[in-house]
Amino acid sequence: MTKRVLLAAPRGYCAGVDRAVITVEKALALYGAPVYVRKQIVHNIHVVTSLEAKGAIFVDETDEVPEGKTVVFSAHGVSPMVHQEAAARNLKTIDATCPLVTKVHHEVRRFATEDSEILLIGHHGHEEVEGTAGEAPDKVRIVDGLEGARTIQPTPGKNLVWLSQTTLSVDETMETVAILKERFPDIQAPPSDDICYATQNRQEAIKVIASQADLVIVVGSQNSSNSVRLAEVALEYGAKVSHLIDYAEEIQDHWFTDVETIGVTSGASVPEILVKDVLATLAEHGFRDVQEITAAEETLLFSLPPELRKDMKAAGQV
Protein backbone atom coordinates (compact mmCIF):
# COMPACT_ATOMS: atom_id res chain seq x y z
CA MET A 1 0.00 0.00 0.00
CA THR A 2 1.41 3.39 -1.07
CA LYS A 3 0.91 5.90 1.71
CA ARG A 4 0.93 9.50 0.56
CA VAL A 5 -0.12 12.97 1.67
CA LEU A 6 -1.58 15.56 -0.70
CA LEU A 7 -0.80 18.92 0.88
CA ALA A 8 -2.98 21.82 -0.22
CA ALA A 9 -1.51 25.12 -1.33
CA PRO A 10 -2.38 27.77 -0.51
CA ARG A 11 -3.27 27.02 3.10
CA GLY A 12 -2.95 28.72 6.46
CA TYR A 13 -2.52 32.42 7.15
CA CYS A 14 -4.12 34.88 4.76
CA ALA A 15 -2.97 38.49 4.50
CA GLY A 16 -5.71 39.76 6.82
CA VAL A 17 -4.89 37.27 9.58
CA ASP A 18 -1.15 37.89 9.25
CA ARG A 19 -1.78 41.63 9.59
CA ALA A 20 -4.05 41.19 12.64
CA VAL A 21 -1.66 38.91 14.53
CA ILE A 22 1.34 41.14 13.80
CA THR A 23 -0.72 44.14 14.92
CA VAL A 24 -1.17 42.65 18.40
CA GLU A 25 2.50 41.62 18.60
CA LYS A 26 3.69 45.09 17.54
CA ALA A 27 1.26 46.78 19.96
CA LEU A 28 2.64 44.68 22.83
CA ALA A 29 6.20 45.58 21.84
CA LEU A 30 5.34 49.28 21.48
CA TYR A 31 3.00 49.93 24.43
CA GLY A 32 3.95 47.05 26.73
CA ALA A 33 1.60 44.51 28.28
CA PRO A 34 -1.24 44.34 28.73
CA VAL A 35 -2.84 45.17 25.43
CA TYR A 36 -6.56 44.40 25.33
CA VAL A 37 -8.15 42.72 22.33
CA ARG A 38 -11.91 42.73 21.73
CA LYS A 39 -12.95 39.17 20.81
CA GLN A 40 -10.48 36.62 19.49
CA ILE A 41 -8.11 38.49 17.18
CA VAL A 42 -8.59 35.61 14.73
CA HIS A 43 -10.53 32.39 15.21
CA ASN A 44 -7.69 30.07 16.21
CA ILE A 45 -7.12 28.75 19.72
CA HIS A 46 -3.33 28.38 19.28
CA VAL A 47 -2.92 31.98 18.11
CA VAL A 48 -5.04 33.30 20.98
CA THR A 49 -3.20 31.34 23.70
CA SER A 50 0.18 32.32 22.20
CA LEU A 51 -0.74 36.02 22.31
CA GLU A 52 -2.13 35.66 25.85
CA ALA A 53 1.27 34.28 26.91
CA LYS A 54 2.86 37.49 25.53
CA GLY A 55 0.51 39.76 27.50
CA ALA A 56 -2.63 40.17 25.40
CA ILE A 57 -5.92 40.14 27.30
CA PHE A 58 -8.96 39.07 25.30
CA VAL A 59 -12.33 40.51 26.26
CA ASP A 60 -15.82 40.15 24.85
CA GLU A 61 -16.85 43.79 25.06
CA THR A 62 -15.20 47.21 25.30
CA ASP A 63 -16.66 47.87 28.77
CA GLU A 64 -14.29 45.18 30.09
CA VAL A 65 -11.30 47.33 29.08
CA PRO A 66 -10.10 49.75 31.80
CA GLU A 67 -10.64 53.41 30.87
CA GLY A 68 -7.83 54.97 28.87
CA LYS A 69 -6.17 51.67 27.91
CA THR A 70 -5.31 50.33 24.45
CA VAL A 71 -7.73 47.97 22.69
CA VAL A 72 -7.27 46.18 19.39
CA PHE A 73 -10.37 45.35 17.33
CA SER A 74 -10.25 41.87 15.79
CA ALA A 75 -9.86 40.99 12.11
CA HIS A 76 -13.60 40.30 11.87
CA GLY A 77 -14.56 43.97 12.22
CA VAL A 78 -16.84 45.89 14.57
CA SER A 79 -19.92 48.05 14.24
CA PRO A 80 -19.89 51.86 14.58
CA MET A 81 -21.54 51.40 17.98
CA VAL A 82 -18.43 49.59 19.26
CA HIS A 83 -16.25 52.50 18.09
CA GLN A 84 -18.57 54.87 19.97
CA GLU A 85 -18.39 52.76 23.12
CA ALA A 86 -14.59 52.80 22.96
CA ALA A 87 -14.51 56.58 22.50
CA ALA A 88 -16.82 57.02 25.49
CA ARG A 89 -14.34 55.08 27.64
CA ASN A 90 -11.40 57.11 26.29
CA LEU A 91 -9.81 53.96 24.90
CA LYS A 92 -6.93 54.07 22.45
CA THR A 93 -8.18 51.93 19.56
CA ILE A 94 -6.24 50.04 16.93
CA ASP A 95 -8.48 48.64 14.23
CA ALA A 96 -7.15 45.34 12.89
CA THR A 97 -10.23 44.66 10.76
CA CYS A 98 -9.27 42.82 7.58
CA PRO A 99 -9.38 45.30 4.68
CA LEU A 100 -11.59 42.88 2.73
CA VAL A 101 -14.15 43.00 5.56
CA THR A 102 -13.83 46.79 5.65
CA LYS A 103 -14.74 46.78 1.94
CA VAL A 104 -18.06 45.07 2.75
CA HIS A 105 -18.68 47.64 5.53
CA HIS A 106 -18.22 50.39 2.92
CA GLU A 107 -20.68 48.65 0.61
CA VAL A 108 -23.30 48.48 3.39
CA ARG A 109 -22.93 52.20 4.10
CA ARG A 110 -23.16 53.10 0.42
CA PHE A 111 -26.25 51.01 -0.30
CA ALA A 112 -27.88 52.17 2.95
CA THR A 113 -27.64 55.79 1.80
CA GLU A 114 -29.37 54.79 -1.45
CA ASP A 115 -32.29 53.57 0.66
CA SER A 116 -31.82 49.97 -0.43
CA GLU A 117 -32.54 46.98 1.78
CA ILE A 118 -29.45 44.81 2.11
CA LEU A 119 -29.73 41.03 2.27
CA LEU A 120 -26.50 39.99 4.00
CA ILE A 121 -25.67 36.34 3.37
CA GLY A 122 -23.95 35.01 6.48
CA HIS A 123 -24.24 33.21 9.79
CA HIS A 124 -26.30 34.66 12.63
CA GLY A 125 -24.06 35.45 15.60
CA HIS A 126 -20.76 35.45 13.68
CA GLU A 127 -18.65 38.45 14.69
CA GLU A 128 -18.07 39.56 11.11
CA VAL A 129 -21.81 39.50 10.36
CA GLU A 130 -22.63 41.41 13.55
CA GLY A 131 -20.06 44.10 12.73
CA THR A 132 -21.15 44.42 9.10
CA ALA A 133 -24.87 44.52 9.89
CA GLY A 134 -24.13 47.11 12.58
CA GLU A 135 -23.22 49.65 9.89
CA ALA A 136 -26.93 50.03 9.08
CA PRO A 137 -28.95 47.80 11.41
CA ASP A 138 -32.32 49.09 10.17
CA LYS A 139 -31.38 48.41 6.52
CA VAL A 140 -29.71 44.96 6.80
CA ARG A 141 -31.49 41.59 6.86
CA ILE A 142 -29.37 38.47 7.48
CA VAL A 143 -29.87 35.53 5.15
CA ASP A 144 -28.49 32.42 6.87
CA GLY A 145 -27.97 29.66 4.31
CA LEU A 146 -30.25 28.20 1.66
CA GLU A 147 -33.27 27.97 3.94
CA GLY A 148 -32.85 31.61 4.88
CA ALA A 149 -32.87 32.53 1.19
CA ARG A 150 -36.09 30.58 0.68
CA THR A 151 -37.92 32.16 3.62
CA ILE A 152 -36.64 35.76 3.97
CA GLN A 153 -39.41 38.31 3.49
CA PRO A 154 -37.91 41.71 2.56
CA THR A 155 -39.76 44.96 3.08
CA PRO A 156 -42.23 45.36 0.17
CA GLY A 157 -41.27 47.97 -2.40
CA LYS A 158 -37.60 48.26 -1.34
CA ASN A 159 -34.71 48.03 -3.79
CA LEU A 160 -32.74 44.92 -2.81
CA VAL A 161 -29.01 44.23 -2.87
CA TRP A 162 -27.16 41.17 -1.64
CA LEU A 163 -23.79 41.18 0.12
CA SER A 164 -22.01 38.34 1.92
CA GLN A 165 -19.79 37.38 4.81
CA THR A 166 -16.25 36.97 3.46
CA THR A 167 -15.53 33.46 4.79
CA LEU A 168 -18.43 31.40 3.41
CA SER A 169 -18.44 28.45 1.07
CA VAL A 170 -18.24 29.86 -2.44
CA ASP A 171 -20.57 27.18 -3.80
CA GLU A 172 -23.24 27.55 -1.13
CA THR A 173 -23.16 31.34 -1.42
CA MET A 174 -23.77 31.10 -5.17
CA GLU A 175 -26.64 28.67 -4.52
CA THR A 176 -28.07 31.13 -2.00
CA VAL A 177 -27.75 33.98 -4.50
CA ALA A 178 -29.48 31.86 -7.17
CA ILE A 179 -32.47 31.34 -4.86
CA LEU A 180 -32.61 35.07 -4.07
CA LYS A 181 -32.44 35.97 -7.77
CA GLU A 182 -35.21 33.54 -8.57
CA ARG A 183 -37.43 35.05 -5.86
CA PHE A 184 -36.35 38.66 -6.44
CA PRO A 185 -35.21 39.06 -10.07
CA ASP A 186 -34.25 42.73 -9.63
CA ILE A 187 -31.92 42.14 -6.67
CA GLN A 188 -28.60 43.92 -7.20
CA ALA A 189 -25.20 42.24 -6.83
CA PRO A 190 -22.23 43.85 -5.04
CA PRO A 191 -19.79 45.75 -7.26
CA SER A 192 -17.20 43.02 -6.65
CA ASP A 193 -17.12 39.58 -5.07
CA ASP A 194 -17.30 39.78 -1.27
CA ILE A 195 -15.93 36.31 -0.54
CA CYS A 196 -12.29 36.64 0.43
CA TYR A 197 -9.66 35.57 -2.13
CA ALA A 198 -8.01 33.36 0.51
CA THR A 199 -11.25 31.57 1.37
CA GLN A 200 -11.82 30.87 -2.34
CA ASN A 201 -8.25 29.71 -2.96
CA ARG A 202 -8.23 27.32 0.00
CA GLN A 203 -11.54 25.85 -1.09
CA GLU A 204 -10.30 25.42 -4.68
CA ALA A 205 -7.18 23.59 -3.46
CA ILE A 206 -9.13 21.13 -1.31
CA LYS A 207 -11.59 20.50 -4.17
CA VAL A 208 -8.67 19.27 -6.31
CA ILE A 209 -7.45 16.98 -3.55
CA ALA A 210 -10.73 15.70 -2.12
CA SER A 211 -11.65 13.22 -4.85
CA GLN A 212 -8.28 11.49 -4.44
CA ALA A 213 -8.36 11.37 -0.63
CA ASP A 214 -9.50 8.57 1.66
CA LEU A 215 -9.18 11.03 4.53
CA VAL A 216 -8.89 14.82 4.71
CA ILE A 217 -7.48 16.56 7.76
CA VAL A 218 -8.24 20.27 8.09
CA VAL A 219 -6.24 22.12 10.72
CA GLY A 220 -8.38 24.85 12.24
CA SER A 221 -10.67 25.75 15.13
CA GLN A 222 -14.37 24.91 15.38
CA ASN A 223 -15.34 28.60 15.57
CA SER A 224 -13.42 29.40 12.38
CA SER A 225 -16.02 29.71 9.63
CA ASN A 226 -13.57 29.23 6.78
CA SER A 227 -11.99 26.16 8.45
CA VAL A 228 -15.39 24.52 8.99
CA ARG A 229 -16.22 25.21 5.33
CA LEU A 230 -13.00 23.47 4.21
CA ALA A 231 -13.99 20.28 6.04
CA GLU A 232 -17.46 20.46 4.46
CA VAL A 233 -16.14 21.18 0.95
CA ALA A 234 -13.78 18.18 1.21
CA LEU A 235 -16.76 15.86 1.74
CA GLU A 236 -18.82 17.54 -0.98
CA TYR A 237 -16.02 17.00 -3.50
CA GLY A 238 -15.37 13.33 -2.84
CA ALA A 239 -13.32 12.81 0.31
CA LYS A 240 -14.49 9.70 2.17
CA VAL A 241 -13.91 11.29 5.59
CA SER A 242 -12.81 14.71 6.83
CA HIS A 243 -11.78 15.83 10.30
CA LEU A 244 -11.29 19.37 11.65
CA ILE A 245 -8.64 19.52 14.37
CA ASP A 246 -6.73 22.16 16.29
CA TYR A 247 -3.65 20.07 17.07
CA ALA A 248 -1.87 16.98 15.78
CA GLU A 249 -2.48 15.30 19.15
CA GLU A 250 -6.16 14.96 18.21
CA ILE A 251 -5.35 12.54 15.36
CA GLN A 252 -6.56 9.04 16.23
CA ASP A 253 -4.94 5.79 15.08
CA HIS A 254 -8.18 4.25 13.83
CA TRP A 255 -8.48 7.03 11.25
CA PHE A 256 -5.73 5.30 9.24
CA THR A 257 -7.57 2.01 8.69
CA ASP A 258 -7.64 1.23 4.93
CA VAL A 259 -6.32 4.72 4.16
CA GLU A 260 -3.74 5.25 1.41
CA THR A 261 -4.11 8.94 0.55
CA ILE A 262 -4.57 11.74 3.09
CA GLY A 263 -5.35 15.32 2.12
CA VAL A 264 -4.10 18.05 4.46
CA THR A 265 -4.98 21.72 4.54
CA SER A 266 -5.48 24.49 7.08
CA GLY A 267 -7.82 27.43 7.59
CA ALA A 268 -6.86 31.03 6.95
CA SER A 269 -6.17 31.71 10.65
CA VAL A 270 -3.82 28.75 11.22
CA PRO A 271 -0.03 29.13 11.66
CA GLU A 272 2.08 26.76 9.55
CA ILE A 273 3.75 25.20 12.60
CA LEU A 274 0.49 23.37 13.36
CA VAL A 275 0.44 21.86 9.86
CA LYS A 276 4.07 20.74 10.27
CA ASP A 277 3.09 18.99 13.50
CA VAL A 278 0.34 17.13 11.62
CA LEU A 279 2.74 16.11 8.85
CA ALA A 280 5.21 14.83 11.46
CA THR A 281 2.48 12.72 13.07
CA LEU A 282 1.41 11.36 9.69
CA ALA A 283 5.05 10.47 8.91
CA GLU A 284 5.16 8.43 12.12
CA HIS A 285 2.28 6.40 10.68
CA GLY A 286 4.10 5.82 7.40
CA PHE A 287 2.72 8.73 5.39
CA ARG A 288 6.06 10.23 4.38
CA ASP A 289 5.42 10.88 0.68
CA VAL A 290 4.16 14.48 0.72
CA GLN A 291 3.04 16.06 -2.57
CA GLU A 292 2.02 19.71 -2.58
CA ILE A 293 -0.99 20.48 -4.77
CA THR A 294 -1.08 24.18 -5.74
CA ALA A 295 -4.35 25.79 -6.80
CA ALA A 296 -3.22 29.43 -6.75
CA GLU A 297 -0.31 31.69 -5.88
CA GLU A 298 -0.85 34.34 -3.19
CA THR A 299 1.27 37.47 -2.95
CA LEU A 300 -1.11 39.94 -1.28
CA LEU A 301 0.14 41.84 1.77
CA PHE A 302 -1.71 44.43 3.85
CA SER A 303 0.00 47.28 5.67
CA LEU A 304 -0.48 47.58 9.42
CA PRO A 305 -3.28 49.80 10.80
CA PRO A 306 -2.40 53.50 10.29
CA GLU A 307 -2.78 54.39 13.99
CA LEU A 308 -0.20 51.74 14.88
CA ARG A 309 2.18 52.75 12.07
CA LYS A 310 2.03 56.36 13.27
CA ASP A 311 3.02 55.42 16.84
CA MET A 312 5.75 53.03 15.60
CA LYS A 313 7.20 55.80 13.46
CA ALA A 314 7.16 58.23 16.41
CA ALA A 315 8.98 55.61 18.49
CA GLY A 316 11.54 55.00 15.72
CA GLN A 317 10.31 51.44 15.16
CA VAL A 318 9.54 51.74 11.46
Q: What is the pLDDT of residues 118-149, one digit of tens each?
A: 999 999 999 999 999 999 999 999 999 999 99
237-272 residue pLDDT tens: 999 999 999 999 999 999 999 999 999 999 999 999
**How confident is the model over 174-179, as a mean pLDDT?**
97
Q: At residue 1, does pLDDT exceed 80? A: no
Name the residues annotated as catalytic. 128
CA separation for the pair 271, 47 (Å, rounded) = 8
Q: What is the pLDDT of residue 193?
A: 83
57-66, 161-170, 186-195, 246-255: the lowest-pLDDT one: 186-195
Contacts of 165 (CB under 8 A, 6+ apart): 104, 120, 121, 122, 123, 126, 128, 129, 132, 194, 225
- Banded pLDDT at 314 (limits 50, 70, 90): very high
pTM of the predicted protein model: 0.95
| CA-to-CA separations, 102 to 24, 43, 164, in angstroms, rounded | 18, 18, 12
Q: What is the pLDDT of residue 318?
A: 73
